[in-house]
Amino acid sequence: MKKIIQIPLPYWNERPKKCAVKAIVLHCSAQEGVPMIKLLRKLHLSSHFVIGSDGRIFQPVPEAKRAFHAGVSSWRGMNNLNHYSIGIELSSSSMGEEAYTPQQLASARSLCLDLIRRYNIPAQNIVAHSDIAPTRKPDPGKAFPWQQFAQYGIGLWYDLNDAGKVAENDVEKLLRQIGYNTDNLPAASYAFCRHFLPELVAKQHDTHRIITDIYPENFVLPKEYLPHLKACAYKFSKRY
Protein backbone atom coordinates (compact mmCIF):
# COMPACT_ATOMS: atom_id res chain seq x y z
CA MET A 1 0.00 0.00 0.00
CA LYS A 2 0.98 3.62 -0.61
CA LYS A 3 2.91 5.45 2.09
CA ILE A 4 0.43 7.18 4.41
CA ILE A 5 1.03 10.88 5.03
CA GLN A 6 0.35 11.91 8.63
CA ILE A 7 -1.37 15.30 9.05
CA PRO A 8 -2.84 15.15 12.56
CA LEU A 9 -6.11 16.82 13.52
CA PRO A 10 -6.98 17.34 17.21
CA TYR A 11 -10.68 16.50 16.79
CA TRP A 12 -11.12 13.00 18.18
CA ASN A 13 -11.76 11.28 21.50
CA GLU A 14 -11.54 7.77 22.91
CA ARG A 15 -13.81 5.04 21.59
CA PRO A 16 -16.22 3.93 24.35
CA LYS A 17 -15.25 0.69 26.09
CA LYS A 18 -16.40 -2.45 24.23
CA CYS A 19 -16.69 -0.50 20.97
CA ALA A 20 -14.25 -2.30 18.70
CA VAL A 21 -13.78 -1.22 15.10
CA LYS A 22 -16.34 -3.15 13.05
CA ALA A 23 -17.36 -0.81 10.22
CA ILE A 24 -15.90 1.38 7.49
CA VAL A 25 -17.77 4.54 6.47
CA LEU A 26 -16.95 6.05 3.09
CA HIS A 27 -17.47 9.76 2.49
CA CYS A 28 -16.66 12.40 -0.07
CA SER A 29 -15.99 16.11 0.12
CA ALA A 30 -15.43 18.62 -2.65
CA GLN A 31 -11.92 19.65 -1.53
CA GLU A 32 -8.59 18.04 -2.38
CA GLY A 33 -6.50 16.28 0.31
CA VAL A 34 -4.66 19.05 2.18
CA PRO A 35 -7.40 21.73 1.76
CA MET A 36 -9.94 19.13 2.91
CA ILE A 37 -7.97 18.56 6.12
CA LYS A 38 -7.84 22.36 6.62
CA LEU A 39 -11.62 22.52 6.19
CA LEU A 40 -12.14 19.68 8.68
CA ARG A 41 -9.95 21.61 11.12
CA LYS A 42 -12.10 24.72 10.65
CA LEU A 43 -15.28 22.71 11.24
CA HIS A 44 -13.80 20.85 14.26
CA LEU A 45 -14.41 17.58 12.43
CA SER A 46 -12.09 14.78 11.40
CA SER A 47 -11.75 11.47 9.64
CA HIS A 48 -9.22 8.67 10.01
CA PHE A 49 -8.18 8.89 6.36
CA VAL A 50 -8.44 11.31 3.45
CA ILE A 51 -7.71 10.17 -0.11
CA GLY A 52 -6.97 12.84 -2.72
CA SER A 53 -7.91 12.46 -6.37
CA ASP A 54 -4.21 11.79 -7.07
CA GLY A 55 -4.42 8.71 -4.84
CA ARG A 56 -2.38 10.12 -1.96
CA ILE A 57 -3.55 8.86 1.43
CA PHE A 58 -3.48 11.20 4.44
CA GLN A 59 -4.15 10.19 8.03
CA PRO A 60 -5.50 12.88 10.38
CA VAL A 61 -6.57 10.53 13.25
CA PRO A 62 -5.09 7.25 14.58
CA GLU A 63 -7.33 4.25 13.91
CA ALA A 64 -7.65 3.47 17.62
CA LYS A 65 -9.27 6.85 18.32
CA ARG A 66 -12.85 7.95 17.67
CA ALA A 67 -12.88 10.46 14.80
CA PHE A 68 -15.76 12.89 14.17
CA HIS A 69 -17.03 11.98 10.70
CA ALA A 70 -20.38 10.20 10.88
CA GLY A 71 -22.59 12.33 13.16
CA VAL A 72 -26.06 11.08 14.08
CA SER A 73 -26.18 7.68 12.41
CA SER A 74 -27.29 4.07 12.65
CA TRP A 75 -26.73 0.79 10.85
CA ARG A 76 -27.64 -2.82 11.68
CA GLY A 77 -28.41 -2.01 15.29
CA MET A 78 -25.36 0.18 15.83
CA ASN A 79 -26.09 3.76 16.82
CA ASN A 80 -23.50 6.50 16.51
CA LEU A 81 -21.19 4.91 14.00
CA ASN A 82 -18.26 7.06 15.13
CA HIS A 83 -17.93 4.62 18.05
CA TYR A 84 -17.39 1.63 15.79
CA SER A 85 -16.01 2.82 12.50
CA ILE A 86 -13.05 3.97 10.51
CA GLY A 87 -13.96 7.01 8.38
CA ILE A 88 -12.47 7.52 4.94
CA GLU A 89 -13.00 10.79 3.04
CA LEU A 90 -12.48 10.86 -0.73
CA SER A 91 -11.90 14.09 -2.60
CA SER A 92 -14.52 14.63 -5.28
CA SER A 93 -15.10 18.05 -6.80
CA SER A 94 -18.47 16.84 -8.16
CA MET A 95 -19.50 15.38 -4.77
CA GLY A 96 -19.59 11.88 -6.21
CA GLU A 97 -21.59 12.73 -9.34
CA GLU A 98 -18.65 12.10 -11.69
CA ALA A 99 -16.33 9.07 -11.70
CA TYR A 100 -13.61 8.85 -9.07
CA THR A 101 -10.07 8.67 -10.43
CA PRO A 102 -8.43 5.26 -10.90
CA GLN A 103 -5.52 6.23 -8.59
CA GLN A 104 -7.96 7.22 -5.88
CA LEU A 105 -10.00 4.03 -6.20
CA ALA A 106 -6.83 1.91 -6.14
CA SER A 107 -5.75 3.60 -2.90
CA ALA A 108 -9.23 3.24 -1.39
CA ARG A 109 -9.32 -0.47 -2.29
CA SER A 110 -5.96 -1.28 -0.78
CA LEU A 111 -6.73 0.72 2.36
CA CYS A 112 -10.14 -0.95 2.80
CA LEU A 113 -8.75 -4.44 2.22
CA ASP A 114 -6.03 -3.82 4.79
CA LEU A 115 -8.56 -2.54 7.37
CA ILE A 116 -10.99 -5.42 6.68
CA ARG A 117 -8.19 -7.93 7.22
CA ARG A 118 -6.77 -6.33 10.37
CA TYR A 119 -10.13 -5.70 12.11
CA ASN A 120 -12.08 -8.59 10.59
CA ILE A 121 -14.82 -6.19 9.47
CA PRO A 122 -18.00 -7.96 8.26
CA ALA A 123 -18.89 -7.29 4.61
CA GLN A 124 -22.29 -5.90 5.69
CA ASN A 125 -20.55 -3.06 7.50
CA ILE A 126 -18.72 -1.40 4.62
CA VAL A 127 -21.10 1.48 4.13
CA ALA A 128 -21.70 4.91 2.68
CA HIS A 129 -22.32 7.93 4.87
CA SER A 130 -25.66 8.07 2.99
CA ASP A 131 -26.48 4.54 4.21
CA ILE A 132 -26.08 5.38 7.88
CA ALA A 133 -27.59 8.91 7.77
CA PRO A 134 -30.19 8.70 4.97
CA THR A 135 -32.02 11.94 5.86
CA ARG A 136 -28.86 14.03 6.11
CA LYS A 137 -26.10 12.82 3.80
CA PRO A 138 -25.62 12.04 0.09
CA ASP A 139 -21.96 10.95 0.09
CA PRO A 140 -19.89 9.34 -1.38
CA GLY A 141 -22.45 9.73 -4.18
CA LYS A 142 -23.87 7.60 -6.93
CA ALA A 143 -20.57 7.46 -8.87
CA PHE A 144 -18.90 5.43 -6.13
CA PRO A 145 -18.32 1.96 -7.68
CA TRP A 146 -19.82 -0.25 -4.95
CA GLN A 147 -20.39 -3.16 -7.31
CA GLN A 148 -16.76 -3.15 -8.44
CA PHE A 149 -15.56 -2.86 -4.82
CA ALA A 150 -17.70 -5.84 -3.84
CA GLN A 151 -15.91 -7.89 -6.51
CA TYR A 152 -12.67 -7.14 -4.65
CA GLY A 153 -14.21 -8.32 -1.37
CA ILE A 154 -15.12 -4.86 -0.07
CA GLY A 155 -18.80 -4.72 0.88
CA LEU A 156 -21.64 -6.69 -0.71
CA TRP A 157 -23.47 -6.68 -4.02
CA TYR A 158 -26.57 -8.63 -4.95
CA ASP A 159 -27.33 -11.36 -7.43
CA LEU A 160 -30.82 -10.87 -8.88
CA ASN A 161 -31.22 -14.66 -9.03
CA ASP A 162 -31.54 -14.61 -5.23
CA ALA A 163 -34.71 -12.48 -5.29
CA GLY A 164 -36.93 -15.57 -5.48
CA LYS A 165 -35.44 -16.95 -2.25
CA VAL A 166 -37.00 -14.10 -0.23
CA ALA A 167 -40.72 -14.32 0.66
CA GLU A 168 -40.90 -10.87 2.24
CA ASN A 169 -42.33 -8.13 -0.02
CA ASP A 170 -42.51 -5.24 2.40
CA VAL A 171 -40.02 -2.56 1.37
CA GLU A 172 -39.57 -1.23 4.89
CA LYS A 173 -38.85 -4.66 6.37
CA LEU A 174 -36.43 -5.49 3.56
CA LEU A 175 -34.55 -2.22 4.04
CA ARG A 176 -34.31 -2.95 7.76
CA GLN A 177 -32.94 -6.43 7.04
CA ILE A 178 -30.14 -4.80 5.08
CA GLY A 179 -29.37 -2.38 7.90
CA TYR A 180 -31.18 0.87 7.14
CA ASN A 181 -32.95 2.93 9.75
CA THR A 182 -36.41 3.32 8.16
CA ASP A 183 -37.88 6.01 10.44
CA ASN A 184 -38.01 8.06 7.25
CA LEU A 185 -38.93 5.54 4.55
CA PRO A 186 -38.51 7.80 1.47
CA ALA A 187 -35.03 8.78 2.70
CA ALA A 188 -34.04 5.17 3.46
CA SER A 189 -35.35 3.99 0.07
CA TYR A 190 -33.42 6.71 -1.74
CA ALA A 191 -30.25 5.92 0.23
CA PHE A 192 -30.64 2.29 -0.87
CA CYS A 193 -30.78 3.53 -4.49
CA ARG A 194 -27.68 5.70 -4.04
CA HIS A 195 -25.76 2.56 -3.09
CA PHE A 196 -27.43 -0.25 -5.03
CA LEU A 197 -29.46 1.34 -7.87
CA PRO A 198 -27.55 4.50 -8.80
CA GLU A 199 -29.41 4.70 -12.14
CA LEU A 200 -32.52 5.72 -10.17
CA VAL A 201 -30.75 8.66 -8.53
CA ALA A 202 -31.34 11.93 -10.38
CA LYS A 203 -28.33 13.63 -11.93
CA GLN A 204 -27.55 16.71 -9.87
CA HIS A 205 -25.49 19.42 -11.59
CA ASP A 206 -25.58 21.91 -8.76
CA THR A 207 -23.08 20.70 -6.14
CA HIS A 208 -24.71 22.84 -3.48
CA ARG A 209 -28.08 21.15 -3.99
CA ILE A 210 -26.47 17.73 -3.59
CA ILE A 211 -25.89 18.51 0.06
CA THR A 212 -29.20 20.29 0.66
CA ASP A 213 -31.70 18.19 -1.32
CA ILE A 214 -30.89 14.78 0.11
CA TYR A 215 -33.97 12.85 -1.03
CA PRO A 216 -37.25 13.49 -2.87
CA GLU A 217 -39.84 13.79 -0.10
CA ASN A 218 -42.31 11.35 -1.63
CA PHE A 219 -39.80 8.90 -3.01
CA VAL A 220 -41.05 5.33 -3.37
CA LEU A 221 -38.92 2.50 -4.77
CA PRO A 222 -40.48 1.66 -8.18
CA LYS A 223 -42.21 -1.73 -8.01
CA GLU A 224 -40.13 -3.25 -10.81
CA TYR A 225 -37.02 -2.81 -8.61
CA LEU A 226 -38.41 -4.81 -5.68
CA PRO A 227 -36.45 -7.91 -6.84
CA HIS A 228 -33.21 -5.89 -6.48
CA LEU A 229 -34.11 -5.02 -2.92
CA LYS A 230 -35.06 -8.61 -2.12
CA ALA A 231 -31.86 -10.00 -3.65
CA CYS A 232 -29.87 -7.47 -1.64
CA ALA A 233 -31.66 -8.37 1.61
CA TYR A 234 -30.83 -12.01 0.91
CA LYS A 235 -27.11 -11.22 0.50
CA PHE A 236 -27.09 -9.24 3.74
CA SER A 237 -28.78 -12.07 5.65
CA LYS A 238 -25.78 -14.39 5.22
CA ARG A 239 -22.74 -14.61 7.47
CA TYR A 240 -19.38 -13.68 5.98
Residue count, binding to Zn ion (CB under 5 A): 3
* Minimum distance, C-beta of residue 87 to Zn ion, in the bound complex (Å): 8
Task: Report the nearest approach of Zn ion to the CB of residue 220 (Å).
Answer: 25
Q: Does residue 129 bind Zn ion (CB under 5 A)?
A: yes
CB of 89 to Zn ion, least distance (A): 7
Establish if 97 lies at the interface with Zn ion (CB under 5 A).
no
Task: Give the nearer residue to Zn ion in terms of CB position, either 29 or 177.
Answer: 29
Q: Using the rule CB under 5 A, is 48 a contact of Zn ion? A: no
Concatenating the DSSP letter of every residue in the chain gives -PPEEE---S-EEEPPTT----EEEEEEESS-HHHHHHHHHHHT---SEEE-TT--EEESS-TTEEES-S-S-EETTEESGGGTEEEEEEE-TTTTSSPPPHHHHHHHHHHHHHHHHHHT--GGGEEEHHHH-TTT--TT-TTS-HHHHHHTTSS----GGGGGG-----HHHHHHHHT---SSHHHHHHHHHHHH-GGGSPP---HHHHHH--S-TT----GGGHHHHHHHHHHHTS--
Known catalytic membership, residue 89: yes
Within 135-154, which residues bind Zn ion (CB under 5 A)?
139
- Near Zn ion by CB under 5 A, which window of 37-45, 123-131, 180-188, 191-199? 123-131
Interaction residues for Zn ion, span 17-46 (CB under 5 A): 27
In whole angstroms, the minimum distance from the beta carbon of 11 to Zn ion comes to: 15
Is residue 131 part of the contact set for Zn ion (CB under 5 A)?
no
The residue annotated as part of the active site, out of 89, 97, 172, 217, is 89
* Active centre residues (catalytic): 89
The site for Zn ion (CB under 5 A) is made up of 27, 129, 139
